[in-house]
Chains A and B, each alone.
Chain A
Amino acid sequence: MTAVATSVEGFRRQAPRPARLLLHAFLALVSLGWLAPLALAVYASLRPYHETAEDGYFSLPRTLTLHYYASAWRDAELTKYFLNSLLIAVPGVVLTLFLASFVAFAITRVRLRFGVPLLVLFTAGNLLPPQIIVVPLYELFKRVPLPASMSDSLTLYDSYWGVIAIHVAFQTGFCVFVLANYMRTVPYEITEAARVDGAGVWLQYWRVILPLCRPALAALGTLEFTWMYNDFLWALVLMSTGDKMPVTSALNNLRGQFFTDYNLLAAGAVIVALPTMVVFFALQRQFIAGLTLGSSKG
Chain B
Amino acid sequence: MTSRDVITLSVLLGVAVFLDVALIWGPTLASVLLSFTSWDGLSPIKPIGTRNYHAIFETYPLFWPAARHNLLWLAFLGLVATPLGLLLAVLLDKQIRFTRFYQSALFLPVVLSLAIVGFISQLVFSRDYGALNSVLGRGAHPVDWLGDPHLNIWVMMVAASWRHVGYVMILYLAGLKAVDQSLKESAAIDGANEVQTFFRVTFPTLRPVNIIVLVITVIEALRAFDIVYVVNSGRNGLELLSVLVFDNIVGEASRIGFGSALAVILFVICLGFIVVYLSRILRQEDQ
Contacts and interface: CB of A to CB of B under 8 A. Distances in A.
A94 interface: no
Contact of B250 (A9, A237, A268): A237
A285 to B, nearest CB: 10
B113 A280 contact: no
B8 interface: yes
A147 interface: no
Interface string A20-49: 100110111011101101101100100000
Given A99-B15, A136-B31, A127 B219 contact: yes
Nearest to B6: A201
Interface in B253-276: 256, 259-260, 263-264, 266-267, 270-271, 273-274
B180 interface: yes
B118 to A, nearest CB: 9
A223 B170 contact: yes
Interface in A243-298: 248, 251-252, 262, 265-266, 268-270, 272-273, 276-277, 280-281, 284, 287, 290-291, 293-295, 297-298
B19 A177 contact: no
Interface stretch (B55-63, B71-79, B101-109): B101-109
A28 to B, nearest CB: 8
Please indicate which of the listed interface residues B25, B131, B245 has the most CB atoms of chain A within 10 Å of its own CB: B131
A30 B131 contact: no
Contact of B124 (A12, A34, A40, A248): A40
A123 B216 CA distance: 11
Given A8-B185, A129-B270, A219-B170, A185 B115 contact: no
Contact of B108 (A34, A126, A252, A262): A34
Interface residues of A, number: 117
A128 B177 CA distance: 30
A91 interface: no
Contacts of B264: 132
Given A132-B260, A178-B212, A5 B123 contact: no
Contacts of B15: 99
B246 interface: yes
A133 B23 contact: yes
B152 interface: no
Contacts of B1: 110, 201
Nearest to A219: B174
A215 B174 contact: yes
B31 A172 contact: no
| Chain B interface residue bracket vs A | 35 or more
A67 interface: no
Contacts of B41: 135
Given A131-B249, A202-B8, A272-B115, A38 B108 contact: yes
Contacts of A176: 16
Contact of A272 (B98, B113, B178): B113
Contacts of B140: none
A78 to B, nearest CB: 12
B66 to A, nearest CB: 12
Nearest to A278: B111
Given A30-B88, A269-B113, 15 more contacts: A3-B194, A5-B188, A9-B95, A27-B92, A38-B112, A132-B264, A135-B249, A136-B27, A200-B2, A219-B174, A262-B119, A273-B116, A277-B111, A280-B104, A291-B177
| 5 nearest A-B residue pairs (beta carbon) | A290-B177, A269-B116, A276-B111, A136-B27, A181-B208
Interface of B: 1-2, 4-5, 8-9, 12-13, 15-17, 19-28, 30-31, 34, 41, 87-88, 91-92, 94-98, 100-116, 119-120, 122-124, 126, 128-131, 134-135, 162, 165-167, 170-171, 173-175, 177-185, 188, 192-195, 197, 205, 208-209, 211-212, 215, 218-219, 222-223, 241-242, 245-246, 249-250, 256, 259-260, 263-264, 266-267, 270-271, 273-274, 277-278, 281-282, 285
